[in-house]
Amino acid sequence: MTNKKRKRHSKNDASNKNQKSPTNKEQKITSPSTTKRTKSNESSSFLEKMRARLSGGHFRMINEKLYTCTGKEALHYFREDSSLFNLYHEGYKTQMSNWPEKPVNVIIKWLKKQNPSFVVADFGCGEALISKSVKNTVFSLDLVSNEPDVIACDMANTPLGSTSADVAVFCLSLMGTNYQTYLEEAYRVLKPGGWLLIAEVKSRFDPNNGGADPEQFSKAISELGFSSVKSDLSNKMFILFYFTKKGKQNSKRKEIEWPSLKPCLYKRR
Ligand SMILES: C[S@@+](CC[C@H](N)C(=O)[O-])C[C@H]1O[C@@H](n2cnc3c(N)ncnc32)[C@H](O)[C@@H]1O
């Protein structure tokens, strides 16, 4: 049988269930469009992988920068190129997608059980998930404002009035090397009796691995003028501290020994 005939024969018998399926070689010869499609699929998945690697690399660099500079420097950094903020948050979302539970959701659940008239200050709000999820008045603060309701500032120095908020939230945002100045600002902004909630990556509080001692951290915050209500260690990935602002600040306040919080750096996958 000639090649031509063999082809026609197979075509006519296409519905024949007993017909042997064509070998890979035959497929390659008879369907050039499939070959093209496969090649283009391969190259687009390669490009996707390359893009993911590049954006992962950018994320890691920006993340490291934020953990190793002051808030003031971070503000200048993002002011020079605000697109870095979006790059950071793209990578951050990818990282978070691996976490079984996100601390921001635990905080949102907690807020929903509180008085809806509570005024909330979300320090380092990122994509402002808290304000999008609760009925409360929320002041969302971050280095860059991509949304109309986000106030762009260094959270060591916010435009919020003194004793104007009932709840101050720091959800994975104690990034700067001067993190204590953010907590001092939260103290100023909170009403007496107001809540301070801090969620941080657990490894930053693992003394066996260069992390801070959570007791020392709580002690420093207490010396600033807060009472520790509880520390929730139940989550594998993060630790959640709850404090309330004391009625009166100790006038003879001594120098507070703030433990250094190690940067949370991500490894290349
Ligand atoms: C890891 S993200 C967390 C975002 C959000 N809280 C969440 O849980 O989804 C930390 C955020 O804190 C912000 N941040 C860090 N240092 C800051 C500073 N000094 N002033 C204002 N925002 C800051 C970063 O820009 C970033 O958006």
Burial class (CB in 10 A: 0-12, 13-18, 19+), 56: middle
Pick from 237, 176, 182, 179: nearest CA to 205: 237
Instruction: Give the domain extent around 217.
Output: 101-245
Pick from 121, 141, 129: nearest CA to 105: 129
pLDDT at 48: 76
Contact 238, 175 (CB under 8 A): no
Measured from the Cα of 70, ligand 1's closest atom is 19
260 domain residue, yes or no:
no
Q: What is the pLDDT of residues 103-125, one digit of tens each?
A: 999 999 999 999 999 999 999 99
**pLDDT (average), residues 47-60:** 78
Single pTM value for the model:
0.83
47 domain residue, yes or no:
no
pLDDT at 5: 36
Secondary structure class of 122 (helix, strand, coil): strand
Does residue 198 line the site of ligand 1, with CB under 6 A? Answer: no
Does residue 197 line the site of ligand 1, with CB under 6 A? Answer: no
Report d(CA 62, CA 55) in Å as an integer: 11
Residue 138: Cβ within 10 Å count: 23
CA dihedral 39, 42, 47, 52 (to 10 degrees): 170
Q: How many helices (H) and strands (E) does the chain have?
A: 9, 7
87 domain residue, yes or no:
no
96 C-alpha vs ligand 1 centroid, how far in Å?
14
45 domain residue, yes or no:
no
59 domain residue, yes or no:
no
- The model's confidence at residue 69, banded by pLDDT at 50, 70 and 90, is very high
- The model's confidence at residue 99, banded by pLDDT at 50, 70 and 90, is very high
Distance of CA 140 to the CA centre of its chain: 15
Q: Does the complex come out with an ipTM higher than 0.95?
A: yes
Q: Which residue has the higher pLDDT, 86 or 253?
A: 86
191 domain residue, yes or no:
yes
- Pocket perturbation via mutation, ligand 1, pick of 143, 174, 182, 264 by most ligand atoms within 8 A of CB: 143
Burial class (CB in 10 A: 0-12, 13-18, 19+), 24: exposed
79 domain residue, yes or no:
no
116 domain residue, yes or no:
yes
Q: How many domains does the chain have?
A: 1
CATH value at residue 135? 3.40.50.150
Is residue 41 predicted with pLDDT exceeding 80? no
Does residue 128 line the site of ligand 1, with CB under 6 A? Answer: no
Measured from the Cα of 171, ligand 1's closest atom is 6
Does residue 92 line the site of ligand 1, with CB under 6 A? Answer: yes
Least confident of 27-41, 72-86, 107-121, 204-218: 27-41
Contact 156, 234 (CB under 8 A): no
Contact 181, 71 (CB under 8 A): yes
